[in-house]
Amino acid sequence: MTLDVLVVGIGGQGVLTAAEAIARAALEAGYDATKTEVTGMSQRGGVVCSQVRFGERVAASEIRPGAARLLIAFEAAEGLRWSHYLAPDGCVLLDPWRAVPPIVSSGMHRYPEDPAAELKTAGMKILEIAARATAERLGDARLANSVMLGAAAPSLPFPEDALRDEVLRRFGRGELASRNAAAFDAGRALVCQYVEGDIQDRN
Residues near other proteins (CB under 8 A) are: 10-11, 20, 23-24, 27, 32-47, 58-62, 64-66, 77-78, 80-81, 83-85, 100-112, 118-119, 122, 141
Nearest Cα residue to 70 out of 149, 180, 144: 149
* Nearer to other proteins (CB atom), residue 61 or residue 193: 61
Strand duo 2-10 + 47-55: pairing:
antiparallel
Tell me how far, at minimum, the Cβ of 147 lies from other proteins, in Å.
Answer: 17
* Nearer to other proteins (CB atom), residue 82 or residue 188: 82
For 12, 20, 162, the CA distances from 125, given in Å and listed in that order, are 27, 24, 25
Tell me how far, at minimum, the Cβ of 20 lies from other proteins, in Å.
Answer: 8
Enter the DSSP assignment of 86.
E
- Bridge partners of 71? 6, 92
* Nearer to other proteins (CB atom), residue 17 or residue 154: 17
- Bridge partners of 4? 53
* Nearer to other proteins (CB atom), residue 24 or residue 188: 24
